[in-house]
């Protein structure tokens, strides 16, 4: 029954394709996309880039499923289910690869500084990803109508839906590319205002290669989308759709090259630990804004001294003692006391020394406080006896 699924309504007499699918070519592409899906999953765990790697891996997995559908369609050339499987996989896979690239733009903006972008990174990521999601949904619905030729919405109407979804996909890719190009052009004239927080990141060779790879991926996906729009606009019975050579080059090789570039120039390797710190989902600000980025576990000697409590501080206000000199990290760099808190307060000339609550007294000979040899005498007869009685 599957072999005669479309029957007389098939686009061509032999089924959905007028040519005999290449077993070797489809098998190679199936293995390549499957291997890259595993590699993307591994790199996601290694570099802790879950959203980027998951989106890319799902897109690659769908591509592998699409070419598996083509292998099944070779044995049953008129089966609509296998045709839908092959088309949905090869049509939805590239938009997900583009969605993975969209997720990197907010990170790039936060590396250079949000003040350089007229739009918030979270908004950019949300808009581009939402457009990609809508494009995928419209294309899936259109491919179902193309495969099954329902009454009221035949293959012509389904092809139009697919073209509309591809148009939305093209719009999202163009918007991403234009904004990325505009942002990078603006950076060249504002180098003095780049945020120095992640300067080790954007000055690295890996990061520059990642940016170049991202631009190449966008160009490849744009070329693929334009081809798909022209192909589906002509119809699945037309010459372009029925060309196996064009399919293998544009639908098979171009997305595979984009996937290879996304894997080789992985953002996790370019950003390192800064990937999580530049996420647009973080509600807190970037730590140590305006300072060069370094691991939070590393502290300078000055920071270690500043984080210690002042040695005159005593929560009970009694028994404050100076710490041993060898406990300080750099005795030669000890900061002076803050204004208004002298280390050794001395009574001014003509002033009566205030009795110390911890039993010490000012010794003018040594110039410091010392323990009293005896407590001061208790005054007597402070009240007249007659008045008391």
Cβ neighbour number for residue 144 with a 10 Å cutoff: 17
Does any domain span residue 128? yes
- Higher-confidence residue: 284 or 175? 175
Look at residue 7 in the predicted model and tell me its pLDDT: 65
CB 216 within 8 A of CB 126: no
CA distance 142 to 130: 19
Look at residue 349 in the predicted model and tell me its pLDDT: 53
Does any domain span residue 13? no
CA distance 160 to 138: 10
CB 130 within 8 A of CB 167: no
Smallest CA-to-CA distance from 108 within 243, 208, 245, 244 is with 208
The mean pLDDT of 255-264, rounded to a whole number, is 95
| The pair of three-digit structure tokens given for residue 78, joined into one six-digit string | 């008129």
Look at residue 360 in the predicted model and tell me its pLDDT: 58
The residues, ordered by sequence, that sit 6+ positions from 275 with a Cβ below 8 Å of its Cβ are 47, 48, 49, 107, 267, 268
| The pair of three-digit structure tokens given for residue 168, joined into one six-digit string | 């939305």
Question: How many whole angstroms from its chain centre is CA 32?
Answer: 26
Does any domain span residue 188? yes
Cα angle 193, 197, 202 (rounded to 5 degrees) comes to 75
Does any domain span residue 366? no
The residues, ordered by sequence, that sit 6+ positions from 208 with a Cβ below 8 Å of its Cβ are none
Number of domains the chain is built from: 1
Does any domain span residue 308? no
Residue ranges in the chain assigned as alpha helix (H): 23-47, 50-75, 80-102, 105-112, 121-148, 155-188, 199-202, 205-234, 244-246, 254-264, 267-271, 274-277, 301-306, 385-388
CA distance 384 to 389: 9
Does any domain span residue 323? no
Q: How confident is the model at residue 190 (pLDDT cuts 50, 70, 90)?
A: confident
- Higher-confidence residue: 151 or 349? 151
Greatest CA separation for the chain: 133
Strand partners, 368: 363
Angle subtended by helix axes 105-112 and 155-188, to nearest 10 = 10
Smallest CA-to-CA distance from 112 within 189, 216, 212, 215 is with 189
CA distance 109 to 262: 19
CATH of the domain at 170: 1.20.1070
Please report, rounded to a whole number, the percentage of residues in the chain having pLDDT higher than 70: 69
Buried b (16+ CB within 10 A) or exposed e, 213-227: bbbebbebbbebbeb
Look at residue 315 in the predicted model and tell me its pLDDT: 53
| The pair of three-digit structure tokens given for residue 95, joined into one six-digit string | 């938009």
Where does residue 188 rank: exposed (0-12), middle (13-18), buried (19+ CB within 10 A)?
Answer: exposed
Look at residue 268 in the predicted model and tell me its pLDDT: 92
Look at residue 13 in the predicted model and tell me its pLDDT: 81
pLDDT one-digit tens code per residue, 97-108? 998 999 999 899
CB 176 within 8 A of CB 221: no
Does any domain span residue 260? yes
Indicate whether 276 pLDDT > 60.
yes
Q: How many residues are listed for the chain in this entry? A: 389
| The pair of three-digit structure tokens given for residue 34, joined into one six-digit string | 């499957």
Q: How confident is the model at residue 322 (pLDDT cuts 50, 70, 90)?
A: low
Return the residue matching tokens 């590319």: 177
For residue 48, give its domain range: 21-277
The mean pLDDT of 39-54, rounded to a whole number, is 94
Does any domain span residue 348? no
Q: How confident is the model at residue 380 (pLDDT cuts 50, 70, 90)?
A: low
CB 49 within 8 A of CB 267: yes
Look at residue 331 in the predicted model and tell me its pLDDT: 47
Q: How confident is the model at residue 31 (pLDDT cuts 50, 70, 90)?
A: very high
CA distance 165 to 171: 10
């Amino acid at each position: 029954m599957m072999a005669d699924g479309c029957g007389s309504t098939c686009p061509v007499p032999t089924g959905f394709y007028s040519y005999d699918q290449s077993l070797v070519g489809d098998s190679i592409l199936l293995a390549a996309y499957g291997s890259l899906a595993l590699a993307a999953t591994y790199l996601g765990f290694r570099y802790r880039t879950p959203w980027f790697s998951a989106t890319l891996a799902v897109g690659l997995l769908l591509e592998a499923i699409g070419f598996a559908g083509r292998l099944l369609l070779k044995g049953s050339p008129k089966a609509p289910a296998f045709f839908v499987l092959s088309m949905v996989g090869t049509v939805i896979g590239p938009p997900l690869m583009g969605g993975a690239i969209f997720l990197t733009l907010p990170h790039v903006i936060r590396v250079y500084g949000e003040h350089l972008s007229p739009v918030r990174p979270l908004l950019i990521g949300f808009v581009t990803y939402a457009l990609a999601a809508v494009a995928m949904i419209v294309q899936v619905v259109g491919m179902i109508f193309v495969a099954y030729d329902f009454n009221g919405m035949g293959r012509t109407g389904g092809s139009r839906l697919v073209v509309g979804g591809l148009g939305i996909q093209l719009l999202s890719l163009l918007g991403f590319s234009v904004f990325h190009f505009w942002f990078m052009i603006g950076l060249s004239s504002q180098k003095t205002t780049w945020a120095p927080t992640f300067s080790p990141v954007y000055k690295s060779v890996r990061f520059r290669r990642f940016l170049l790879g991202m631009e190449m991926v966008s160009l490849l996906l744009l070329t693929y989308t334009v081809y798909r729009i022209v192909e589906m606009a002509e119809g699945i019975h037309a010459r372009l759709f029925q060309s196996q050579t064009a399919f293998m080059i544009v639908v098979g090789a171009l997305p595979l090259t984009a996937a290879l570039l996304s894997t080789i120039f992985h953002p996790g390797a370019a950003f390192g630990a800064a990937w999580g710190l530049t996420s647009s989902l973080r509600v807190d600000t970037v730590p140590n804004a305006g300072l060069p980025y370094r691991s939070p576990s590393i502290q300078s000697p000055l920071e270690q001294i500043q984080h210690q409590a002042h040695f005159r501080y005593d929560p009970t206000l009694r028994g404050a003692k100076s710490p041993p000199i060898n406990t300080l990290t750099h005795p030669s760099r000890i900061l002076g006391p803050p204004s208004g808190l002298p280390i050794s307060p001395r009574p001014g000339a003509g002033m009566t020394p205030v009795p110390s609550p911890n039993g010490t007294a000012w010794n003018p000979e040594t110039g410091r406080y010392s323990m009293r040899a005896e407590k001061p005498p208790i005054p007597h007869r402070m009240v007249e006896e007659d008045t008391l009685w």
